[in-house]
Amino acid sequence: MRLLKPRFERAPINPEFLKHIQRREKGEDEGAMTSRYGYIPHPVTLSHLKGKKLFIRARSEGLPSSYDLRKQGRVTSVKDQGPAGICWAFATYGSLESCLLPGEYYNFSENNMKNLLAEECPEGYDRPFDGGGNIWMSTAYLARWSGPVLAEDDPYDPASGNCNQYEVKKHLKQVIYIPDRVDSLDNTNLKLAIMNSGAVSTVMGFDEGYYNEKTASYYSTGGFPNHAVCLVGWNDNYSPSKFNTAPPGKGAFIVKNSWGTGWGDNGYFYISYYDMWVGIENALFSKVESPDKFKVIHQYDPLGWIASFGYRKNTAWFANIFTAKTQEALGGVAFYTAAPESSYTLYIYRDVKKGNPRSGTQVKKISGIVEEPSYFTKYFASPVTLKKEQRFAVVVKLTTPGYNYPVPCQINIPGLSSKAHSEPGWGYVSDNGKQWTDIYSIEANASICLKGLAN
């Protein structure tokens, strides 16, 4: 009997992304327009993570009833996005800059991020210079080493648009994707992230009718997600009476906004634990590295993670075949994981043949666990030497517990990522690590989100 090939399937599309497309077609989605909001949903959804506990080792420490990063000197100044829909870039850097404090102070350029991710630039999304975005876009920009650059090198101008590049000050090492809350009191993941690392980028739905200007407080029971902000603390005893409409219970997060210090409480406000939207699409831009550590990046995914694929089980193999640009020392790899406690085995092969990433000579094998769903970088204790023009493969066997789509991919979606491009022979997938299929033959212009880092 002839055995059928395992079916390689794409994960379900984020329903909020589909709703956004429908609203945009009707001209109803303010978050997609140039405004003081600017969040737009992405096709990737991590809704399967709801209820998952992160930061397990830190949970025994206990949490105070209130906490404020401002009192710890661990937030940078409030900025003003003006009339451009760039809240997502400010939320990204609000998190990253906070995570570097108090040891390092930086003021990074949201202007450069918004510009280089625009449709006018070679590696941009289908969005204008002043248009909406999300953390998946900002992660892609940082992960491909387009930034961060300093705000003094590329100052913010909401009306500007160019593709200028400047000196990059850090290289991204990790972004942790914190699960959406199950309910209004499912806040331990967010609190631990704030207290132990720094500000968390999150998404909410902002509607002026729900905002109490006198108390700088917000509690909504409707609308849709359209704004990205930073959570910088909390108060479990924050009174329900301070909101326009009293929520069912006490408690609020302290939020850093990007509408200048003249808005709210010097640029900050309180949002109820019981708000309908707060605490979705949470990201902690937790770790960066000196740009001197690696000088060469091998990659086929400048637009980042746009879709996930798998074989109807939580384990899959994926690989990229690269060619060394010069004499190099391969010292690390980077990829995305979509579940806590994901286990991986990483292989490096030299002198591989086209069509088979596990041909040639195996020169590295490493196994490990990625504790949080994240953009993850693994450094080697000893680098792999490569000759100029030598073909090599980075191969990963990844298990994502509870999630049957372990393979992170960049794909071409008209109206979102039409610049996504790939070619046959770049990336491969496998059910068992023995028989390999070119990802291009499954979906044209799809590429694997898997990078090699070298000197």
Q: Which residue has the higher pLDDT, 56 or 449?
A: 449
CB 138 within 8 A of CB 303: no
pLDDT in tens, 34-87: 478 999 999 999 999 999 999 988 886 789 999 999 999 999 999 999 999 999
**DSSP SS3 for 48:** helix
Q: Which ranges in 81-173 belong to alpha helices (H)?
A: 87-100, 110-116, 135-143
- Per-residue pLDDT, averaged over 279-304, amounts to 97
- CA distances, 124 to each of 244, 281, 331 (Å): 40, 21, 28
CB 229 within 8 A of CB 87: yes
pTM for the predicted model, two decimal places: 0.96
List every span in the chain annotated with CATH 3.90.70.10: 15-286
pLDDT in tens, 332-365: 999 999 999 999 999 999 999 989 999 999 999 9
Q: What is the mean pLDDT of the chain?
A: 95
Q: Which residues contact 89 (CB under 8 A, 6 or more apart)?
A: 81, 110, 113, 114, 133, 138
Pick the CATH number of 15-286 from 3.40.50.360, 3.30.70.120, 3.30.565.10, 3.90.70.10: 3.90.70.10
- Tokens 């800059």 identify what position? 97
- Per-residue pLDDT, averaged over 291-302, amounts to 97
pLDDT in tens, 81-117: 999 999 999 999 999 999 999 999 999 999 999 999 9
- Per-residue pLDDT, averaged over 174-189, amounts to 97
CATH code for the part of the protein at 294-454: 2.60.120
29: confidence class by pLDDT, cuts 50, 70, 90: low
Pick the closest to residue 177 from 59, 86, 92 (CA basis). Answer: 92
